[in-house]
Amino acid sequence: MPEIVLREALKRGLEEALENDPRVFIMGEDIGEYGGAYAVTDGFLKKFGEKRIKDTPISEQAFLGAGIGAAAAGLRPIVEFMSMSFTLVAFDQIVNMAANLRYMSGGQISVPMVIRAPTGAGVQLGATHSQSFETWLAEVPGMKVVCPSTPYDALGLMRSAIKDNNPVLVAEPALLYGAKGEVPDEYYEIEIGKADVTREGSDITLVSYGYGMRPVNDAAGTLEGRGVSVEVIDLRSLAPIDMDAIIASVKKTNRVVVVDNARRRGGVMAEVTADLQQAASEWLDGPVMRVGSVDVPWPYSRGLEQEVLTDADDVLAAVAEGYGL
Amino acid sequence: MASSTKSSAKPSSKKSKSSKNGKSSSSGLDNSGVSGVTDNLELYRQMYLIREFELACGENYSKGLIRGFLHLYIGQEATGVGAISTLRDDDYVVSAYRDHGHALARGLDVNRSMAELFGKATGTSKGKGGSMHLFDVAKGFMGGHAIVAGQLPLAAGLALAQQYNDTDALTICFFGDGSTNQGLYHETMNLAAIWKLPILFFLENNMYGMGSSIERVRAGGVDFYPGMATYGIPAAEVDGMDVLAVKEASELAVARIRNGDGPQFIEAKTFRFVGHSLADGQKYRGQEEVKEWEERDPVVTFPAKLIEMGLATADQIAEVKASVDEAVATAVKFAEDSPEPELSEIHNDVLA
């Protein structure tokens, strides 16, 4: 299978949608002339023209809101934010409009819109540019949220997101844009709401998603070296969360550590933890261990930032603390 | 706080004035005007329908049959009716939380609109939206939006789709003076202007954002239309108590938009004769100010002028009133008799 980087996988998903569906268009800040802050849409303006590739003013809530209107009228907009942190500026439109319109209109209005945004810390951008608000949006009824960790998942999830008739947030781990992985030439999609068991094992389950898969996979490698059989689950979707897959795994391994690259408090893994203790406590040999980045504003200085971020040692420490492995 | 009866925007008889190239003047009521007798009677019917509908809403709110927030359109009928009368079926109408008047002017079913306010299964949103969230997509009525200024970019997006699809359809977006201090007001004007979107921004300036006189909360006075020069959007001011003046100003703006001239802006000076919502005791303004505006009540003055000018007979007006009274009574009965939503509806319409 050919190997490509995650950025290319996203690009392929967007490009084929633009080619195959005239209702699809992309808008965002500096996605056209400039080529996109992370170069995902580089070359698109030349290929598809100004009608399909719209550079916007720096007015996040206005262009996100315009995306909602265009979607309500039957188009399929893809709206890019330069950073997940900037979605905060448009939260009112995302939550009050995009997510609520179908319900408030008694099912009359659909908002088939994709919101794309790079997420996560790790490159010293400081507190305002490093946040992961996909964890907040994942709790909003009416939204779907996905977060890929591999090029294969990025393409498959992007295809599903664009075809979906709901607002879908695609959280793109910024540190993974250059990550390589195998992507087949044959067409495939990845169903939103289904987790992926990326490694099968019998002693302990590690659950994460997005950039959190890095420390989890590193920790799994270390544990395997110690003779521990590790099952790893990549959530892929944060809304809805595939609790069935997690519970099924826990019933097998009786041990679980859930890992978030975002800040520990609140968020997706808090949900997973709470649901697990209700649904699977009798299967567990110890507490649901939760790992996340430190609950402080993201610091700039490299040493501080690296210390705040979840890493493999944090995961191993939780495994040891919870289950003595 | 002392009530103020002072207003620098007194009700006036001027028809319309304009800034930039928003030149328009009302032909007013004369036999050579563009509006025929039938049109005039229809304009009157819609205004009277809205008035009676709103009075019935107030009554049923007092009875506890309508709950939540209820913002009545009483006094502002001429603006929505005049503007919406100039649209085609393939145009979109977007409103704020004071949306009953726009919904009815767009032809939403009276029974289903009332049922929505009663929270019934037969309502326009199956009882899930309420007063502030009326929708009828089949009629191009795209809500009913209750975050102040939140509907502006939605309307721009609808217009973007109309432009994208190479149609000459347009979107009209109603908003109040209260929304003009939100960032979205300015962001959306800019976006619409640079993309030349087919949108008519219709400001219903009723002088108060809830209990705050615009004179207290806005730098630069009570006129908003001159500010549109900043965005290069042609803007006109119109007397919002004169349905024909509103209609004529809207016709001109609509023609320009269909011609591909991009966004247009109309500011109608109008007034709500009642409080912001039914919870509002109006301690922030004097009744003299309200009375002054009430003297120009379009639901009273328009039919009187029609009769005076020989454009309608007293009998015709009476017939309209009788049929509307019956329709509103029927709507209340329909809403009362309609079933509550099934509890299973809770989980429907969250996701596609």
Q: Which of B132, B147, B152, B160 to mutate against chain A (most A CBs within 10 Å)? A: B160
| Higher-confidence position of A32 and B2 | A32
Given CB atoms, is A88 within the 8 Å cutoff of chain B? no
A72 contacts B156? CB cut-off 8 A: no
Which residues of chain B are within 8 Å of residue A165 when distances are taken between CB atoms?
352
pLDDT in tens, A143-172: 999 999 999 999 999 999 999 999 999 999
| Residue ending a domain, choose from A150, A182, A214 | A182
Q: How many CB pairs under 8 A join A and B?
A: 138
The reported pLDDT for the residue numbered B2 is 38
A59 close to B191: Cβ distance less than 8 angstroms: yes
DSSP string for A259-289: EEEEESSSHHHHHHHHHHHHHHGGG-SS--E
Rounded to the nearest 5°, which phi and psi values hold at B200?
Answer: -105, 110
Rounded to the nearest 5°, which phi and psi values hold at B281?
Answer: -85, 0
**Percent of the residues in chain A that have a pLDDT greater than 70, as a whole number:** 100
B153 contacts A104? CB cut-off 8 A: no
CA B269 distance to own-chain centroid? 12
Domain check: are A173 and A226 in the same one?
no
Give the pLDDT mean for A301-305.
97
| Residue ending a domain, choose from A117, A149, A182 | A182
Which residues of chain A are within 8 Å of residue B171 when distances are taken between CB atoms?
69
Among A172, A167, A171, residue whose Cα is nearest residue A113: A167
Q: Write down the residue that tokens 């009554």 correspond to.
A: B59
Q: Which residues pair with A116 in a beta bridge?
A: A80, A170
Among A81, A41, A77, residue whose Cα is nearest residue A58: A81
B160 close to A23: Cβ distance less than 8 angstroms: no
Domain check: are A146 and A260 in the same one?
no
The sign one gets for the Cα dihedral B184, B189, B195, B198 is: positive
Q: Which residue type is seen at A134?
A: E
- The answer to the question of residue A138 being in a domain is yes
Q: What mean pLDDT is reported for chain A?
A: 97
Report the C-alpha gap between A219 and A318 in whole angstroms: 11
CATH code assigned at A314: 3.40.50.920
Q: How far is B142 from chain A (nearest CA, A)?
A: 8
Residue A179 tokens read as 């990550």
3-state secondary structure of A184: coil
Which residues of chain B are within 8 Å of residue A142 when distances are taken between CB atoms?
350-351
Q: How far is B125 from chain A (nearest CA, A)?
A: 4
B128 contacts A104? CB cut-off 8 A: yes
B155 contacts A104? CB cut-off 8 A: no
The reported pLDDT for the residue numbered B277 is 87
B135 contacts A106? CB cut-off 8 A: yes
CA A204 distance to own-chain centroid? 24
Q: Which residues contact B248 (CB under 8 A, 6 or more apart)?
A: B15, B16, B24, B25, B26, B27, B34
Q: How far is B119 from chain A (nearest CA, A)?
A: 12
A167 close to A98: Cβ distance less than 8 angstroms: yes
Domain check: are A173 and A255 in the same one?
no
Write the residue in A92, A141, A165 that is nearest to B352 by C-beta.
A165
| Residue in A8, A29, A80, A129 annotated catalytic | A129
Given CB atoms, is A97 within the 8 Å cutoff of chain B? yes
What residues 9-28 of chain A have any CB closer than 8 A to a CB of chain B? 25
Cβ burial of A15 (10 Å; 0-12, 13-18, 19+) is middle
Report the C-alpha gap between A143 and A23 in whole angstroms: 21
| Residue in A60, A80, A134, A231 annotated catalytic | A60
A134 is catalytic: no
3-state secondary structure of A245: helix
The range of the structural domain enclosing residue A96 comes to 3-182
pLDDT per position in chain B (352 positions), as tens?
333 333 344 444 444 455 444 444 443 444 443 334 469 999 999 999 999 999 999 999 999 999 999 999 999 999 999 999 999 999 999 999 999 999 999 999 999 999 999 999 999 999 999 999 999 999 999 999 999 999 999 999 999 999 999 999 999 999 999 999 999 999 999 999 999 999 999 999 999 999 899 999 999 999 999 999 999 999 999 999 999 999 999 999 999 999 999 999 999 999 999 988 888 888 899 889 999 999 999 999 999 999 999 999 999 999 999 999 999 999 999 999 999 999 999 999 999 9
Q: How far is CA B82 from CA A20, A134, B17, B44, B239, in A?
A: 43, 44, 16, 10, 11
The sign one gets for the Cα dihedral A149, A150, A156, A159 is: positive
pTM exceeding the 0.80 threshold for the entire prediction: yes
Cβ burial of A28 (10 Å; 0-12, 13-18, 19+) is buried
B191 contacts A73? CB cut-off 8 A: no
Domain check: are A168 and A231 in the same one?
no
The reported pLDDT for the residue numbered B281 is 85
The reported pLDDT for the residue numbered B287 is 87
Report the C-alpha gap between A85 and B96 in whole angstroms: 29
A75 contacts B191? CB cut-off 8 A: no
| Residue ending a domain, choose from A157, A182, A207 | A182
Report the C-alpha gap between B154 and B92 in whole angstroms: 11
Q: Which residues pair with A158 in a beta bridge?
A: none
Domain check: are A56 and A171 in the same one?
yes
Q: Which residues pair with B212 in a beta bridge?
A: B209
Q: Write down the residue that tokens 């007092």 correspond to.
A: B62
Domain check: are A244 and A309 in the same one?
yes
Structural domain tally of chain A?
2
Residues of chain B that touch chain A, judged by Cβ-Cβ distance less than 8 Å: 92, 123-129, 133, 135-137, 142-145, 147, 150, 152-162, 164, 171, 183-184, 187-188, 190-191, 194-195, 348-352
- The answer to the question of residue A187 being in a domain is no
Q: Which of B154, B162, B346, B348 to mutate against chain A (most A CBs within 10 Å)? A: B154
Point out the least confidently predicted range of A10-14, A40-44, A66-70, B14-18: B14-18
Given CB atoms, is A102 within the 8 Å cutoff of chain B? yes
CATH code assigned at A173: 3.40.50.970
Give the pLDDT mean for A294-314.
97
Report the C-alpha gap between B279 and B210 in whole angstroms: 11
The chain B residue lying nearest A60, using CA atoms, is: B187
B172 HSE (CA, 13 A, CB side): 32
Q: Write down the residue that tokens 């009525």 correspond to.
A: B141
Characterize A258-286 residue by residue with b for buried, 16 or more Cβ atoms within 10 angstroms of its Cβ, and e for exposed: bbbbbbbeebbbbbbbeebeeebeeebeb
Q: Which residue type is seen at B36?
A: G
Among B180, B173, B187, residue whose Cα is nearest residue B257: B173
- The answer to the question of residue A254 being in a domain is yes
- The answer to the question of residue A62 being in a domain is yes
Q: How far is A144 from chain B (nearest CA, A)?
A: 9
Long-range CB pairs of A242-248, under 8 A, 24+ apart, other chains included:
A242/A193, A242/A194, A242/A195, A243/A272, A243/A275, A243/A276, A243/A279, A245/A194, A245/A195, A245/A197, A246/A195, A246/A205, A246/A207, A246/A272, A246/A276, A247/A276, A247/A279, A247/A280
Which residues of chain A are within 8 Å of residue B153 when distances are taken between CB atoms?
61-66, 68-69, 93
Domain check: are A65 and A157 in the same one?
yes
The reported pLDDT for the residue numbered B276 is 86
pLDDT in tens, A226-257: 999 999 999 999 999 999 999 999 999 999 99
**For chain B, what percentages of helix, strand and coil (3-state, to nearest 5) are there?**
45, 10, 45
Helix (H) or strand (E) holding A204: strand A204-208
Given CB atoms, is A94 within the 8 Å cutoff of chain B? no
Which residues of chain A are within 8 Å of residue B351 when distances are taken between CB atoms?
102, 142, 144, 166
Write the residue in B129, B191, B352 that is nearest to A104 by C-beta.
B129
Give the pLDDT mean for A288-299.
97
Among B155, B158, B141, residue whose Cα is nearest residue B107: B141
Domain check: are A316 and A293 in the same one?
yes
Report the C-alpha gap between B276 and B263 in whole angstroms: 29
Report the C-alpha gap between B132 and B151 in whole angstroms: 12
The reported pLDDT for the residue numbered B286 is 85
Domain check: are A87 and A174 in the same one?
yes
- The answer to the question of residue A67 being in a domain is yes
- The answer to the question of residue A190 being in a domain is no
- The answer to the question of residue A175 being in a domain is yes
The reported pLDDT for the residue numbered B31 is 42
Domain check: are A230 and A319 in the same one?
yes
A105 contacts B135? CB cut-off 8 A: yes
> What domains are there in chain B, each with its CATH number?
19-24+35-336 (3.40.50.970)
Residue B285 tokens read as 């303004």
Q: How far is CA A284 from CA A256, A287, B240, in A?
A: 8, 7, 69
- The answer to the question of residue A188 being in a domain is no
Domain check: are A110 and A59 in the same one?
yes
Report the C-alpha gap between B9 and A321 in whole angstroms: 72
In chain A, which ranges are continuous DSSP H helix? 6-20, 44-48, 60-72, 91-92, 101-104, 134-137, 151-163, 213-225, 243-253, 267-280, 302-308, 312-323
Q: Which residues pair with B19 in a beta bridge?
A: B235
Report the C-alpha gap between A113 and A124 in whole angstroms: 31
A29 is catalytic: no
Report the C-alpha gap between B309 and B317 in whole angstroms: 13
Given CB atoms, is A64 within the 8 Å cutoff of chain B? yes
Q: Which residues pair with A256 in a beta bridge?
A: A205
Q: How far is B127 from chain A (nearest CA, A)?
A: 8
Q: Which of A18, A103, A146 to mutate against chain B (most B CBs within 10 Å)? A: A103
Domain check: are A13 and A136 in the same one?
yes
